Amino acid sequence: MLLGPRHLRFGQRIVGATAVGTLSAPESGSRRVRRGTGRTTTLSDAQGERWRSNAHALRSGPQSLKEILMSKTLRRPLVALAALVAALALMMPMLSSSAAAADSSVYIVHGIPGVAVDVYAGGTAPADKALTNFQYGDTAGPLTIPAGSLPVVVVATGADPTVPSNQVINQTLTVPSGANLSVVAGLVGGSPGLTPFVNDVSAVPEGSSRVTVRHAADAPNVNVLVDGAIVITGLAAGAQASAVLPAGTYDIQVQLTDGTPVGALSPGSVTIPAAKNVIVYATGSVANQSFPLGLVQQVLDVPVTATTTTTAPIAVAISPVFTG
């Protein structure tokens, strides 16, 4: 509420021009002020002069009110407020800079069997070509990608990316801020597409490693078995799951949820090194024999903690961050 000539805020009360009090003239050397409560307060001559001065200022209109507001008592806080505003103005560029979106680290994984491709990111001009003659099973990165929308076009090696019929994939990804991602080109749903996954690069216990399984194939849900025990159940296309287990050699098998073995996705005996995130992608298609089922592997370094572990592996299901 704007202050006008009839209102001034004292503490928690708003006092109108007629609510200050009525000055009377009692015995010499003092003044009496009648308040709205019916009480009468005796004031000294000096106090009475201040009351009369304030009442006159309130009756005198906006100019006198401004003089009261700019009195020495109130001017100090106003000066301090002005200094604070100036300091905040100087800090704004630093605050904006610290709040700016961070770049992400992005890996590209080729999971479409039998197709060598060129990958364009951000456009289809020659300068936008990020990868040339990218082969099935290859992994590239990490690439530093700013947060935001990223158009990606994938074509057969040497093909013109501006021709729509040449575009094996034409998809826009939404890259989050400060993430560590792997984007796999696969056949989820039967058509070529990009599926992004968050890479868990958090620490593992000393002497252990993280094993991550990602379903990027045109295939039904699967179970993953480690040394004969099911540790990942019903993994769906486009999803991932992981387990932390001691470094060593394990027998890893994949089966359909009804127990039918899937030999093409079962690597058998696998040696897992310590301090890694060993990522295995199921790729290809059950329905289209032109793209046979297979596995693609990616290995990332992870930090370790000082605690050793012999705990049996526990599967933790994780969804993709986004599906753009």
Together in a domain, 109 and 88: no
Same domain, 274 and 312: yes
The span from the CA of 44 to the CA of 30, in Å, is: 5
Out of 98, 120, 144, a domain closes at 98
pLDDT at 306: 85
pLDDT of residue 101: 78
- Structural domain contains residue 2: no
Q: How many whole angstroms separate alpha carbon 157 and alpha carbon 132?
A: 7
Element containing residue 251 per DSSP (H, E): strand 248-256
1 belongs to a structural domain: no
Task: Answer yes or no: is 76 within a domain.
Answer: yes
Distance CA 238, CA 271 (A): 26
Question: Is 149 found in the same domain as 240?
Answer: yes
Show the domain range for 44: 7-98
pLDDT at 301: 96
Q: What is the tally of structural domains in the chain?
A: 2
- Please give the chain's pLDDT, 324 residues, in tens: 444 444 434 333 333 333 333 333 444 444 444 444 444 445 455 555 554 555 554 445 445 444 544 555 545 555 555 565 565 566 555 544 445 679 999 999 999 999 999 999 999 999 999 999 999 999 999 999 999 999 999 999 999 999 999 999 999 999 999 999 999 999 978 899 999 999 999 999 999 999 999 999 999 999 999 999 999 999 999 999 999 999 999 999 999 999 999 999 999 999 999 999 999 999 999 999 999 999 999 999 999 998 755 555 454 544 444 444
324 within a domain of the structure (yes/no): no
CB 194 within 8 A of CB 173: yes
Residue written as tokens 């009756």?
Answer: 59
Same domain, 69 and 109: no
pTM score, whole prediction: 0.68
Is-contact 204 198, C-beta < 8 A? no
Can you give the length of the chain in residues?
324
